[in-house]
Amino acid sequence: MAAVMDTGLASSPSMTCEPDWMGLKFNLFAFDFDGTCTQKDTTSLLYKASEKYRSSTQAEMKTIDERWIEIGTIYWQGHQETVSKSMALHTDPNSLPHFNEKGLRSFLQEVSKYDMAMIKKVEASEILKGELSSGHVGKKVTSPFDKETIFQDLVHKLSTNSSNGISVFVGDSIGDILAMLKADVGIVVGKSHTLRKVAKAFGIKLLPLQEIQKMARNECQEFATPKERGVLFEAPSWNEIGFTLFGTRYIPNKF
């Protein structure tokens, strides 16, 4: 990747200047699932897969459906309010256009507290409870900080094995933002207005994913330079991500 410090890109021996784009040389490709790999939110599948729901009558199913919608509405409204209040509290206009990592982390701590409180409300509703399930939600990965830690651990394990290549993380929401920022190439997919609003507020630059290809072709360099912090890339589709990663070897998905 060429060293163009004003855009935050850095050169890398893993990226070469070839007439036909051959993709990136990466050793770790990680991604979020819900909303990233799926076209819509899939959390409703949790309660519909529960024993309680599947053994219910049509009338009981309708009641559970309505309760889930109610919980979802309460969550989303509260989430948006928490995001707005926390952004106002932790953003610093004087730090712009520079990346405000401290403010971002404080902001995400507040949002994570709200999300955890809502998980407890879901558990208390017993909507997921059945004869064979407690109704409690596993909490191994419940925050942006959890994803960041797990991603860092994966990167560290690969580095100790002397694997060559860069790390890539693809996500769609503010829950993925720390992991994306830790990656050599963090890619935003989807149309989340909240993520873009947060990125702007905390000085995170969003560049078109095609910039990677342009830099490698136009300004090939053999040496590596530090990448500016707080830079992510936007991809309009998974096909563009596939072409960026695999180059001409990639076969586009027609669906």
Domain ranges of the chain: 26-32+141-246, 45-125
Report pLDDT for 11: 40
Q: What does the pLDDT average to over 42-62?
A: 83
Identify which of 206, 165, 160 has the alpha carbon closest to the alpha carbon of residue 12.
165
- Residue 146: the pLDDT is 95
**pLDDT given at position 227:** 58
User: pLDDT at residue 34 above 50?
Assistant: yes
- Note the pLDDT tens digit of each residue in 101-121: 999 999 999 999 999 999 898
Amino acid residing at 9: L
Percent over 70 (pLDDT), the chain: 83
Compute the average pLDDT of residues 59-67.
91
148 near 182, Cβ under 8 Å? Answer: yes
Question: Cα(8)–Cα(167) distance, rounded to whole angstroms?
Answer: 16
CB 41 within 8 A of CB 172: no
Measure the CA–CA gap between 165 and 184, rounded to whole angstroms: 10
What pLDDT shows up at residue 158? 86
Tens-digit pLDDT profile for residues 79-104: 999 999 999 999 988 888 899 999 99
What is the percentage of the chain residues whose pLDDT exceeds 90? Answer: 42
Between 42 and 200, residue with greater pLDDT: 200
Range with top average pLDDT, 130-139, 149-158, 212-221: 149-158
Q: Would you place residue 124 in the very low, low, confident or very high pLDDT band (cuts 50, 70, 90)?
A: confident
Most confident listed range (126-130, 156-160, 165-169, 212-216): 165-169
pTM beyond 0.85: the answer is no
Q: Is the pLDDT assigned to residue 3 strictly greater than 70?
A: no
Cα angle for residues 145, 147, 149 (degrees, 5° grid): 70
pLDDT-derived band at 215 (thresholds 50, 70, 90) equals: low
Of the two residues 175 and 14, the one the predictor is more confident about is 175
Indicate the average pLDDT of the chain: 82
State phi, psi for 167 to the nearest 5 degrees: -105, 145
Q: What is the pLDDT of residues 154-183, one digit of tens each?
A: 999 888 776 678 889 999 999 999 999 999
In this prediction, residue 222 carries a pLDDT of 30
Four-residue CA torsion sign, 101, 172, 187, 204: negative
Q: What was the pLDDT predicted at 9?
A: 44
